[in-house]
Structures are given as C-alpha cells and as structure tokens.
A and B are shown apart, each in its own frame.
Chain A
Amino acid sequence: MPEGILCNKTPINTDEQLKLTLSDKGGKQYYEEMNHLEVDSDKLWGAIQKTMKSRTKTWLEICAHCGLCAESCFLYQVNGRVPEQVPSYKIQSTLGVIVKKKGKVDNAFMQMCMETAWSKCTCCNRCGMYCPHGIDMGVMFGYLRGLLYSQGFVPWELKIGSGMHRVYRAQMDVTTEDWVDTCEWMAEETEEEWPGLEIPIDKEDADIMYTCNAREPKHYPEDVAEAAILFHVAGENWTVPSEGWEQTSLSMFAGDWECCKDNVQNVYDAIERLRPKRAIGTECGHAHRATVIEGPYWTGRPDGQPPVPYIHYVEWLAEALRTGKLKIDPTKRIKEPVTLQDSCNYVRNQGLKDVTREILSYIVEPGYFVEMAPAKEHNYCCGGGGGFNGIGIYRPQRNMALRKKMEQIIDTGCKLVIAPCHNCWDAIRDLEEEYEIGIRWSFLKPLVIKMLDVPEHLLPKDE
C-alpha cells in the first residue's frame, strides 16, 4: 500500500477528510498506515535540489563536529545528556543522511526522522546562538519538517492541525460566523461592567486591527473580552476583521509551507481591506512569528515586512503604559516574587526582550521581579514549543522536556509566572499538572485589568 486513506502525501483539504482523520482516535489507523507509506525518493531529492541553498548546504558541510551545541540544547540537558540528543547529531543523522543518500531512504528511516524532528527539537533556535559557525539547527529542523510533511511523515495531530488551517483558516473549527458571534457575545457580556464597550467588526481605517489565536474564541472567549476592555480603557480606535482574524499557524509546526502562505495572506488581505494604521497580535509567540516574522517571506514580500506595522501584544501594552493610555493603580501592583517566561518566538526571533521587562516595571512592585537564569535571548524553550505540546504520541518526551522550565522556575523561588505566549502558558500549566510544584501562571491581560486605574467616566453609573 503506497499511500493510506488517512496517512498519505496529500494535505487535508476537505471537511470530510478532516472529520475522517479526526475520528481516528489517537491516530491509531493513521500510524498503522504510516508503516506502509512509500517514500517518493525522486520527489524528495527534487525538493532538496530546488530548495536547499547556500545556507543549509554550508551548514551541513562545515559543521566541525565540535559538540559545543550539546549543552545549548535543553532536550540534551533534561534527557541525561545522552549523545543522541546533541543537536549536531540529530540533524546530521536525519537531514544530513537524506542529503547524502540523495533522498534514497526508506520508511523506517523517515519514521525515525519524524520522531527526531518533532520530539527531539522544538525549533527554539537556541543552538544557533552557541554554534561558533552560526549553524541554526532549529532552522534546519523546520526545513526537515517540510520535507517530511510533503512525504506524509507527520504526526497525526499536526496533519489535522494543518488541515484545520486549510479548511477553516483557523487552527480549530472556528468559522467566520462562530468568530463574529463570539465577538458580539463577548461585547454584550462585558458591556454591563464596561459601559460603551464595543468589539467593532470590520471597521475600516481604524488605528488598530486586532488579530488573535483561534483558541481564544474557541476555549477562552474571555481573552477576547479582556483585549476589548484594555483597548476600551486605552481609548483606542480599533477593530477585528471578520475574515483573517486568526494568526496562528499549526501549519508552520507541521512544515506545510503552502498552507502557511495561504493563512498569512488571509490576514494580510484583511489588512488591505480594512486599511488599519497598524495591526496588533495577541499574546502568542508562534502566531507572531508566523504572521509577522516569517509570513512576509511566505507571501513573497521582498522587504520582509507585513503590509502595515504589525506588533506583538507586549509591544502595544508597553506603549500604552508608557504613554499613560493605561494607568496602573500602584496599590494593586504585584507584591510577590514573580518571574517571566521569555517566548523563543518573539524574544530569540524578534528581540522583544526589553518591552516585556518594561511592562513588568509598571505592574510589579519594585524588588519583586526575579529573572530566570539564563533569561532573555538565552532563555530555554518552555518545553512544549514547535508543536510538541499537542502531539499525543510524544507526550512522555514532552513531559520530560518540561523539566528544564520547571527547574528554572523553582530556582527563582517564584510562585507566579507571567507567560505572554499561549504555548508557554500551556506548557507551564501542564508542568504544574505533571509535577505539582505549586505555581500559578498568567497572561498579561487579566493581570493588568485587575490593577487598572480606571477613569471615572468609564465606570458603570450607579442606578
């Protein structure tokens, strides 16, 4: 059987195929079919010849095998420092071999590559900072994932995730109607407490177009409400698009580049349709990376920039606090030791290390903020990045990966962790569930709302 019904080289493009794949609980049939999937060596080698340019080629060639990347990898550290977790080994024994053999590899080899690419690397890009030759194995694993995806060797959840984006243009089955309904519902719910609050949909020429993570309308719509409250209090002229509101990209985790492009284009189209002065994305790391950092390249924008300035939530929040659009009541500031999780996707990938700390300077009583060690661009991945959080068959490996963050948090002595990234937030929630170290975690929005100094005229009038 060259290709299975569920596990094959064709991306999920229809609702029927999506539901069929979803109904295969835990991917039992999917992984069974994978055992019989044939490798199309010609196509694989053809793709490599077309897409492997100087950078990757040179990286594979000049790796000096010095082993200095080993210690930089948190997965190497938490897995008993076994040599199989050395980043250089991981990439040389997978992508390196595929290239050396000109694509002539078998099913078992591809399955090993899949396991390595999705359970031994979160594409956190930390190794690239420690390689003297500047070899970024996270980038290469992203590339390898693309090759594996095109051959059908991708974890079940990510095949589905990418299919969701293809069918619904959202990582979950949230349709345009669902999204608009949720916004209207949240505006109604919130308006009692915040008179005059609106969630304007498809408003043209606003100052801000806000985009989010589909999990927010799907599982915690209060996040959408919280964003609305903060924009309302700050007096912003903002809007959300009815179409092109979802900025996450499980397809990026899956290596489905065609789908990545389609999704980002959908968001950019919304920008062009509504002409906002700028766009702001929610507290999500990979969504920011997909839409703002990598997206322009997927859609072929030669300047590498989105159509309008597109910033991460932490940048807007820092600005709103700095300019006094949002005021914090000093008596409500955090007065307990608190630490911050730097998301790889906007710290190591866009240098947003100082703005997050600026926010903390407003909302934390001086002396209570404790840095993780190491922090900023040298911080470790939360343990669940790159799609790791969502892949069932690699759950034990993921739980092991959480240990580095657990150690880092325990070392700070803090019980409260601020994580302005969905993925980090999830990983920290899971690590508490798994290891019970007695911590709490939070996005920035709910914390800031609790300590706002709200102008009189925005408060509800007593009847």
Chain B
Amino acid sequence: MYDFLTGPMLWVTFLVSFGGLLVRAVMYVRGLHWQLDRVAYRPNMKYGMRGGLRSILAFIIPFKARLWRVRPGFTIIFFAFHIGLLVTPIFLEAHNVMLSKAFGFSLPTLPTMVADVLAWTCLVGGLFMVLRRIAFPEVRIITTFYDYLLIVITVMPFITGLIARYEMGDYNFWLMAHIISGEIWLLCLPFTKLSHAVLFFMSRMQLGMDYGIKRGGMKGSDMAW
C-alpha cells in the first residue's frame, strides 16, 4: 500500500496536478481576447508586462496593496496560512528524505520546530477561515458548502500529518491517511477553485495589464493598488 501510494500513485498525482495546472494556465492565455477584454495585449506588451508585474507584486507582498493595509488582522492570518501551506510540504525534512531516495537530491529542510509552527499556523489559519465565514454576514452570504469542503481538503494533510508526527494512535494508519489526503489535495488543484494556485497569477496579471495599458499605465501614471 505504502509503496503504491508513494510510487505509481504519486507519479500519477504529480502528473495530473502539475500538468493540469499548466494546461489551465495555457488555456487561460489562449482564451484571452483583446477586443472582448478591451485590452490591446500584443502591441503594448511592454506596458502590459509592467502593469501585470506591479499588480502581482502588490498582492503577494504583505501590506503592499491598500487592501492589505486596511485589513491588517486578516492580512497577517491570510499570509501566514498561505506561507505555511506552501513552505511546509516543500521543505519538510520527511518529504525531502523521500525526494533524496527517489532522485538522489533534496532541498534545504526546515528545523522540526519551524515545520511544526508552520503546520499549526495552517491549521489555525484554516480554522479562522471557517470561523469568519460563519461570523461575518458579508462572507456568510457568499459561502457555499463547496467553500468549506475545499478548506477541509486543504487542511486535511496537515491534520493527518501532525497526528502522525506526534505519533498519536496508529502511526501507519495516520501516515497512509496523510499521504492519501495530500494526494487528494494535489489532484483537486487543477479541477477546483484551488486552481487559483496558478489562476491567481493569470487573473492578476491580466487586470494589471489592463491598468498598465489602458487604465493609466500609458499615461505614465501608475495605479496605487
């Protein structure tokens, strides 16, 4: 079972997940339409790229966009959640041991303490996401069952991973659960809203190009996001 999940299944998962995300990114660009979008992408590429990069940077750097500054509490939790989500699995020691076994190389690894803190941050962040969906009417009205399901899918690998890491209960069971939930999460990436992992960049880039080309960029006036 373990061998299957970390062998062929993992390969399939990676292929579907990363391949799928790549397909989505390509499809996105192919589906842009200068006239319907009303953005002259090609002739003004330089202005567009500049606007697009400004737009992406404003939203991936904490407190850069005005949005992040007017909502400091949310911003901290939001970034902590996403950083934990991305950094922990990539730089976790246990994952890199597997990587080393399979390919003979590994990435720098996180000290256990840091990995623990990051994993817990994710859990707390996820909990916060759920609570604010329930607590705030402006979020509640747009929240659907699907939104909760995606949060569950996202934090499940962290819950199972932490249980396994603290060796609570049957280690092997929780290890399997961890691997399966991780693979489910990866498989969901291209097919669900989790595709924002790449589509965030595409959408932000597009709107940034819009601003960089016709909404001020060519007038020499950078928008303060």
A370 at the interface (CB under 8 A from B): no
Most buried by B among A55, A59, A76, A294: A55
A133-162 contact mask (Cβ, 8 Å, vs B): 1 or 0:
111100000000000000000000000000
Choose one: A65, A297, A378; the contact of B38 (CB below 8 Å).
A297
B6 at the interface (CB under 8 A from A): no
Instruction: Determine whether the beta carbon of A349 is less than 8 Å from that of B215.
Output: yes
A residues in contact with B195, CB < 8 Å = 61-62
| Complex: A53 Cα to B32 Cα, angstroms | 6
| Complex: A116 Cα to B34 Cα, angstroms | 27
What residue of chain A has the Cβ atom nearest to residue B38's Cβ? A297
What residue of chain B has the Cβ atom nearest to residue A296's Cβ? B40
Choose one: B139, B204, B211, B214; the contact of A67 (CB below 8 Å).
B139
What residue of chain A has the Cβ atom nearest to residue B206's Cβ? A55
CB of A292 to closest CB in B, whole Å: 9
Instruction: Determine whether the beta carbon of A134 is less than 8 Å from that of B55.
Output: yes
B residues in contact with A294, CB < 8 Å = 38
Choose one: B203, B219, B222; the contact of A58 (CB below 8 Å).
B203
Choose one: A53, A88, A135, A350; the contact of B203 (CB below 8 Å).
A135
Instruction: Determine whether the beta carbon of B196 is less than 8 Å from that of A133.
Output: yes
CB of B70 to closest CB in A, whole Å: 8
Within 17-73 of A, Cβ neighbours of B (below 8 Å) are at 51, 53-55, 57-59, 61-68, 70-72
Task: Pick from A103-111, A124-132, A167-175, A432-440 the stretch touching chain B.
Answer: A124-132
A303 at the interface (CB under 8 A from B): yes
B3-23 contact mask (Cβ, 8 Å, vs A): 1 or 0:
000000000000000000000
| Complex: A87 Cα to B210 Cα, angstroms | 20
A263-284 contact mask (Cβ, 8 Å, vs B): 1 or 0:
0000000000000000000000
Instruction: Determine whether the beta carbon of A133 is less than 8 Å from that of B203.
Output: yes
Instruction: Determine whether the beta carbon of A84 is less than 8 Å from that of B34.
Output: no
Choose one: A58, A84, A297, A352; the contact of B221 (CB below 8 Å).
A352
From known contacts A58-B199, A135-B203, infer whether A68 and B67 are also in contact, taking CB-CB under 8 Å.
yes
What residue of chain B has the Cβ atom nearest to residue A349's Cβ? B215
CB of A462 to closest CB in B, whole Å: 45
CB of B155 to closest CB in A, whole Å: 15
A residues in contact with B35, CB < 8 Å = 297, 300
B44 at the interface (CB under 8 A from A): yes
Give chain B's interface residues, CB within 8 Å of chain A: 27-40, 42-44, 55, 59, 66-67, 70-71, 74, 132-133, 136-144, 147, 193, 195-196, 199-200, 202-204, 206-208, 210-211, 213-217, 219-225
Known interface pairs A65-B142, A86-B138; 20 further A-B residue pairs with C-beta atoms within 8 A, sorted by A's residue number? A57-B31, A62-B195, A62-B199, A63-B142, A67-B136, A67-B138, A81-B138, A88-B142, A89-B142, A129-B67, A133-B196, A133-B204, A135-B203, A294-B38, A297-B38, A304-B43, A304-B214, A305-B40, A350-B214, A378-B224
* 17 residue pairs bridging A and B, Cβ less than 8 Å apart: A55-B37, A55-B206, A62-B200, A67-B132, A67-B138, A76-B138, A131-B67, A132-B200, A133-B200, A133-B203, A136-B207, A294-B38, A302-B34, A303-B44, A304-B43, A350-B215, A350-B216
Give chain A's interface residues, CB within 8 Å of chain B: 51, 53-55, 57-59, 61-68, 70-72, 76, 81-84, 86, 88-89, 92, 128-136, 293-294, 296-297, 300, 302-305, 348-354, 374, 376-378
